[in-house]
Amino acid sequence: MFKTCVTVFVALAVMLTLTPVSVSAQSGESTTPMLTPDGQPHISGTFTFRTLTPLQRPLQFEGRESLSPEEAAAFEASERTRQNRDLFDPESGAPTAGYQPREEGGVLSYNEFWYERGIELTADKRTSLIIDPPNGRRPPQTEAARLASQAERAYTEEHRYDSYENRTMTDRCLGTSTGGPPLRSGAYNNNLMIFQTATHVVIQNEMAYQVRVIPLDDTAKPPFAQLKGVSRGHWEGDTLVIDTTNFRADSSLTGPNLHLVERLTRLDPDTVAYEYTVMDPTEYTAPFTALIPLRRTDGPIFEYACHEGNIGLNGILAGARNLERLGRDLRR
């Protein structure tokens, strides 16, 4: 199966390289729809999905779908200042002049040079990426999911240093939440490349360097769950609809019962609208939908060599074993 995926991936890359887009936007002209040589809507390209717009609407903007230009500028300036890692001494981690206290606190891993967060809100100045429910917030968890989350947090607190298997997927370089699906803007690597043929669409994330090869037909699904779920795509007019199920319990946004529907629509030469709907009745009392703009970027995406030279996991567990020898409580 691995060889098959690699073969498909390489073949698609070659085909994209050799096959120019038949319709492209000229300077100062509007050309819609953008089509591939075989007549599909053209959604290929390299994009960034970084943004300062939060997933959920902050309480201070309750009842507000968007901000005025002046409010948006003030919010953006405040968020950039709040998140700026250069306000910490690079050696001691102590706050420097201009530091504003943040909830998370603590010594930071990187300074601002290494971050690639969003620097502005979406173009429409929305107060949340969630567009449904109208309040811009995730629906409440089910009672069973809430109790399960509490139990999982308690277990993690007690056992997080027992083994590498008790560490997060991010610690283990096996995936991250921002790489999706669904996509979520994070601290860095908020970039992806999309390319397509008549039979497949491929989404390659810079974060965790993970590739989704999505058939555009009813190819039989494998009998096992996968890290990124199992996706099948089809066209509805100018929109690519990706239906994903079969998530591994330890890898999805919610759990193994997640049903994710993503919609990608080319709005103009520089923008693809990425909309997703999360449906998981075991986790949430209702579905919710978010909308994120994918903005074209001229830069390449880079290899995410998480394991290469990574001694972090070894250090975490070796440090824990040493503290145990010293009789220290690891939960502190």
Q: Say if residue 54 is preceded by a cis peptide, omega within 30 of 0.
A: no
Domain-located, residue 278: yes
pLDDT of residue 21: 38
Domain-located, residue 18: no
Domain-located, residue 189: yes
Q: Are residues 188 and 49 in the same domain?
A: yes
Query: Is the CB of residue 76 less than 8 Å from the CB of residue 121?
Result: yes
pLDDT of residue 287: 98
Q: Are residues 44 and 171 in the same domain?
A: yes
Mean pLDDT value across residues 153-167: 91
**More confident site: 303 or 47:** 47
Show the domain range for 174. 35-67+122-318
Query: Is the CB of residue 48 less than 8 Å from the CB of residue 295?
Result: yes
Q: Are residues 130 and 198 in the same domain?
A: yes
Domain-located, residue 201: yes
Q: How confident is the model at residue 33 (pLDDT cuts 50, 70, 90)?
A: confident
Buried b (16+ CB within 10 A) or exposed e, 260-292: bbbbbbbeebebbbbbbebbbeebbeeebbbbb
Q: Are residues 80 and 194 in the same domain?
A: no
**More confident site: 331 or 118:** 118
Give the end of a domain, one of 120, 146, 181: 120
pLDDT at 329 > cutoff 70: yes
Question: E strands, the chain, where?
Answer: 45-48, 130-132, 191-196, 200-205, 211-215, 230-236, 239-245, 259-268, 271-279, 288-296
Average predicted confidence (pLDDT) for the chain: 84
**Burial grade of 50 (CB within 10 A; 0-12, 13-18, 19 or more):** buried
Q: Are residues 84 and 223 in the same domain?
A: no
Q: How confident is the model at residue 22 (pLDDT cuts 50, 70, 90)?
A: very low
**Selection from 62-66, 101-105, 302-306, 327-331 with the highest mean pLDDT:** 62-66
Give the end of a domain, one of 80, 101, 120: 120
d(CA 255, CA 299): 34
User: Number of structural domains, the chain?
Assistant: 2
Q: How confident is the model at residue 179 (pLDDT cuts 50, 70, 90)?
A: confident
Q: Are residues 189 and 274 in the same domain?
A: yes
Q: Are residues 116 and 126 in the same domain?
A: no
pLDDT at 100 > cutoff 80: no
Q: Are residues 95 and 157 in the same domain?
A: no
Q: What is the DSSP letter of 41?
A: B
Mean pLDDT value across residues 95-99: 54
Q: Are residues 109 and 126 in the same domain?
A: no
d(CA 73, CA 77): 6
pLDDT at 8 > cutoff 90: no
Q: What is the CA radius of gyration of the chain?
A: 22
Q: How confident is the model at residue 218 (pLDDT cuts 50, 70, 90)?
A: confident
Q: Tokens 């989404």 appear where?
A: 203
Q: Are residues 94 and 208 in the same domain?
A: no
**More confident site: 30 or 205:** 205
Helix (H) or strand (E) holding 13: helix 2-18
**More confident site: 155 or 24:** 155
Domain-located, residue 90: yes
Domain-located, residue 23: no
pTM score of the predicted model:
0.83
Domain-located, residue 328: no
Q: Are residues 129 and 222 in the same domain?
A: yes
pLDDT of residue 16: 42
pLDDT of residue 186: 87
Q: Are residues 105 and 233 in the same domain?
A: no
pLDDT of residue 45: 96
User: Is the Cα torsion angle 125, 127, 132, 133 positive or negative in sign?
Assistant: negative
Give the end of a domain, one of 120, 150, 183: 120
